[in-house]
Copies of this chain bind each other. A is one copy, B any other.
């Protein structure tokens, strides 16, 4: 992978230029790429060099005018985002050049951070620095943790359960298929658009069956693949797929609402008109947010890492190269371009060992 790099001593930044309209795809026209000098760390601070950046549908919400649960990124500011970075220079006793960390770097090559702010550690060293950095944004990072807490805690997945996952070839979905398998699900059905993604869900991620919503009737396919109904629906999508699943819930089923990308482009989204199935099937539907589980990240992350070492979890990151492609990488989440956890590779580790 050949990566573009900024001139020596310079830092490229993507600034927020404009708010996408309600029905507008997010893209390069909403950002400005600028170049500024690399900043210097003050005492207690660290200079980070970005290695890779994560993306998430929530990031559109940072700059859209719609209500969202996340803080907005103001016009003219560096676009907010998390990523894996290498410590380039340190004036903090706990960090030294070459350390790899997870941090809120923003969409830029370099950032100065204060690792501990008001007693809170905002910049963490990677638990598994020997692995590819992108894994920490994918199956071993927030995506994998979201899948894990959504399935185990929110949906109470029990061994043998029939689990259906929408956007099963998306970032969280591709982790959820794999984590459901590790948790002992009896039957795992992934829903995605297109034959390639469908094949990837069964052949690579280990889903029992795949539904291609672009070429199949989702309800009929669910009837075929889940003849006894659904115990757990892990939803990233909303809309008609959620409705199709609700009608096929088993008694006592659980619906974990992780996302609702199908409703992101409208001010008056259609709610699940058949939510009365929650009564008919004595089922529950529950929303969650992975950072509510922050206290348990270390334990759960270690479990994911053990599954990974044992070969039960596979890398499922979809890596784009180059900071200049960040806006299109984000757009891809809304056009179905990515397969797996969308990550943008920005730089390569330079410092191989302790200085």
Contact = CB atoms under 8 A, between A and B. Distances in A.
Integer count of this chain's copies in the complex: 2
Contact of A273 (B268, B278, B288, B292): B268
Contacts of A263: 276
Contact-residue bracket for chain A? 20 to 34
Interface in A102-158: none
Interface string A253-277: 0000111100100001111111111
A258 to B, nearest CB: 8
Contacts of A281: 287
A285 interface: yes
A284 interface: yes
A258 B275 CA distance: 12
Nearest to A277: B287
A58 B234 CA distance: 30
Contact of A272 (B69, B272, B288): B272
Contacts of A258: 279
A287 B282 contact: yes
Contacts of A257: 275-276, 278-279
Nearest to A266: B273
Nearest to A269: B273
B286 A278 contact: yes
Contact of A260 (B69, B276, B286): B276
A121 to B, nearest CB: 23
B279 A260 contact: yes
B273 A282 contact: no
A2 to B, nearest CB: 39
Contacts of A172: none
A279 B272 contact: no
A289 interface: yes
A242 to B, nearest CB: 9
A286 B289 contact: no
A148 to B, nearest CB: 16
A275 B271 contact: yes
B287 A279 contact: yes
Contact of A288 (B274, B275, B279, B289): B279
A270 to B, nearest CB: 6
Contacts of A238: 275-276
A272 B238 CA distance: 12
Given A270-B271, A271-B275, A273-B269, A285 B285 contact: yes
A287 B292 contact: no
A69 B279 contact: yes
A306 interface: no
A285 B286 contact: yes
A266 B269 CA distance: 19
Contacts of A259: 279
A254 to B, nearest CB: 9
Given A270-B271, A271-B270, A271-B271, A282 B292 contact: yes
A350 interface: no
Contacts of A69: 279-280
5 contacts: A268-B273, A275-B275, A279-B288, A282-B286, A284-B285
